[in-house]
Amino acid sequence: MSCGQPHETPCTEILDHLYEYIDNEMPEEDCAAFKRHLDECQPCLEKYGLDAMVKKLVQRCCGCDEPPVDLRDKVLARIRHVRGEVAVSGSGE
Ligand SMILES: [Zn+2]
Ligand SMILES: [Zn+2]
Give the pLDDT confidence of 35-88 residue by residue, as tens digits: 999 999 999 999 999 988 888 877 776 555 666 678 778 888 888 887 776 655
Predicted pLDDT of residue 61: 62
* Residue 9 alpha carbon to ligand 2 centre in Å: 9
Are the C-beta atoms of residues 52 and 62 closer than 8 Å to each other?
no
* Residue 5 alpha carbon to ligand 1 centre in Å: 9
Q: Where are the domains of the chain?
A: 11-85
Q: Which ligand is located closest to the Cα atom of residue 92?
A: 2
Instruction: Please state at what angle helix 42-61 crosses helix 28-40, rounded to 10 degrees.
Output: 120
Q: Is the pLDDT higher at 46 or at 1?
A: 46
Closest CA to 77 of 44, 58, 54: 54
